Chain A
Amino acid sequence: MSPTRFLPVFALLACAAAFAPALARAQSAPIVVSGEAVPKGKQSLSMDALRGDGSDAARLFLQVLRKDLELSGWFVPSDNPGGNVSLAGTVRTSVSGLSAAVTATWMAGTRTRTWSKDSTTAGVRDAAHAVADAIVADVAGKKPMASSRILFVGRRAGATETEIYACDADGGRPSAVTSDRKLCLSPNWNPGANSFLYTTWLTGTPAVMQVDLGAGKRTYVSTQPGMNQGAVKNPKTGVAAIVLSRAGMVDLYLVDPATRRVLDRLTRSRDSEASPTWSPDGSSLAYVSDAGGVPRIYTMALAGRQPRRLVYDGTIRENVAPEWGPDGRIAFCGRSGGRYRIYVVDPSKTPAVPEAVSPADGTDYEDPSWAPDGRHLVCTRTAGRQRFLVVLDTLGDPPRAISMPIAGDWYLPSWSDNAVRTLP
């Protein structure tokens, strides 16, 4: 098996196309910085004293930083002075590429911190994401997400095959990661975000492969006869939970990714299981089973292995696609009133009451995946015949569509749990 060829096909074009409309909007809409105009839970942030040197690289750095701070949900950036937080400093081109020194002042001038960042010209977006994450962590005291990346399935308009794609958390730098020219599905980041798993029909039947981003190579992880689907690694042990049909029934199994050996079988029911996801401590799984007549989510502790139904809300009869988030809450997709919406539920509460976090707008929202900040989710939105990615905010900011520079369907996203240092 030859290594995957990574195709940074339209990255540059994508940056321009994806950002031009967003920037135009941001510049035309004046943001008033005053106590009343800033929504609850956000801080106004002044960027007027953070200056570029007029170079393209400096301009890109400032644009990406500003967008990242806005998308974090904790700041309302503007060029007006006098915000709760003030950024000052310089961003200029250097011998290596770009050199940025950013000083934040907050809590009425009582707190100050400076970050210095040098980067190559190609790494300007990474540098801006890193500074944004530092500001979110240190100034807002929240978990950041700007340096994380999103994997997803892409089918170009008119194509029958799919590939795995990746983009930045802000939607920037979309590019194809695989070039299998077959059906490719279900990308799942591994814990730590240095590699990921996906199912490929490379040989005509499905198998799970692991792509290692640093080494730029891939290896088979599960090649059982029948289906090999939904593989996801345990955050503590690295063992993969997976859906297999090797026994002539669709069941949930554990596979050792290193040896490809089947370690254990978790279900033995004559029903369909799907979509395993691990709890943050690796002790439990959530998954879908239609054992109750309709597909529903169950949780199961590895110790004891007693499946327990998660959702008892009668208006969400069908509930699927669970993803266990970093703070212990489970996001899932529920069918209510003939449409699919995204819900969040805390399984430790009794009763566990799901809360809808996607709008009821006559379109379908499916396949949620948590951002590393535990606040945002990315999901698939189907409107008409088009599928594309949308970022949802569990604290109420409006949904944000991730636009792609080419026509097609974009779905089944997986958001990394960590900063991604090596670009696919």
Chain B
Amino acid sequence: MNTTSLLRASLAAFAAFALASGCRTPPKGEADEYGEGEVLESEFPGGLEAPGDLPLGNIDFSKLAPVVPPAAAGIAPVYFSYNESAIPASEQGKVANAALFLMQNAGVVLLVEGNCDERGTNEYNMSLGEFRAQSIRNALVAQGIDPARIQTVSYGEEKPAVPGSGESAWRLNRRGDFAFFQR
């Protein structure tokens, strides 16, 4: 990667991060529930690219050996709020730990696994879990990690860390897990 493309990648990464953390449409008030004819911003056809894209690479993790980080690396699941994909301030340190581990181990690649609690339909939770994994990927890229080293996968509500209902289980299931592999 030459200097220009590195700069371009970094700019794209920061733009993506800014979009991810700041530009999510805020929930609207009750008034709009009774509105008439609301439409979303027009989705213009033409091409597959869009501003803020951070395309995924194509690493086949099934052929790679898992890497278990030492406890001192502080790798832990990132937890999310209900129906949210933004990384809470309290969880940012975990993302920084993962970024540091990737920087110190150049031959390691990462699969970020997004998960949801059981509430909501299976299909939407699959998308929400992917969005959470992408939020973590974007944050790592914003901290200088090559996007080609990070893939995402969503398990939706299919892989709970803790069985059972209620917030005590749900808060541990709305998470992003880090799975490291040796390339």
Contacts from A to B (Cβ < 8 Å): 160, 162, 183, 185-186, 203-206, 225-227, 229-230, 243, 245-250, 253, 262, 264-275, 288-295, 298, 300, 305-309, 312-314, 317-318, 320-321, 333, 335, 340, 351, 366-367, 385, 411-412
Interface SS of chain B: loop
The answer to whether A272 and B123 touch (CB under 8 A), given A249-B53, A265-B50, A312-B34, is no
Closest 8 CB pairs of A and B: A293-B27, A248-B54, A314-B33, A225-B56, A268-B50, A272-B127, A274-B127, A307-B40
Contacts from B to A (Cβ < 8 Å): 16, 19-20, 23-28, 30, 32-45, 47-50, 52-58, 60-62, 83, 85, 120-124, 126-128, 130-131, 134, 137-138, 147, 151-156, 158-159, 165
Can you offer 18 A-B residue contacts whose CB atoms are under 8 A?
A160-B159, A185-B122, A204-B153, A226-B151, A230-B123, A250-B131, A271-B24, A272-B127, A272-B131, A288-B127, A294-B27, A295-B120, A306-B43, A312-B34, A313-B33, A318-B120, A320-B120, A367-B121
Candidates B34, B62, B134, B158; contact of A245 at CB < 8 Å: B134
Interface SS of chain A: loop
Total CB contacts across the A-B interface at under 8 A: 192
Complex CA gap A274/B83 in Å reads 14
Tell me whether A226 and B34 are in contact (CB under 8 A).
no
Candidates A229, A253, A291, A294; contact of B123 at CB < 8 Å: A229
Complex CA gap A300/B159 in Å reads 32
Give the interface centre of A162, A229, A265, A268 by most chain B CB atoms within 10 Å: A268
Tell me whether B50 and A247 are in contact (CB under 8 A).
yes
Complex CA gap A265/B45 in Å reads 7
Complex CA gap A264/B46 in Å reads 8
Complex CA gap A160/B152 in Å reads 20
Complex CA gap A339/B165 in Å reads 14
The chain B residue sitting closest to A230, CB to CB, is B123
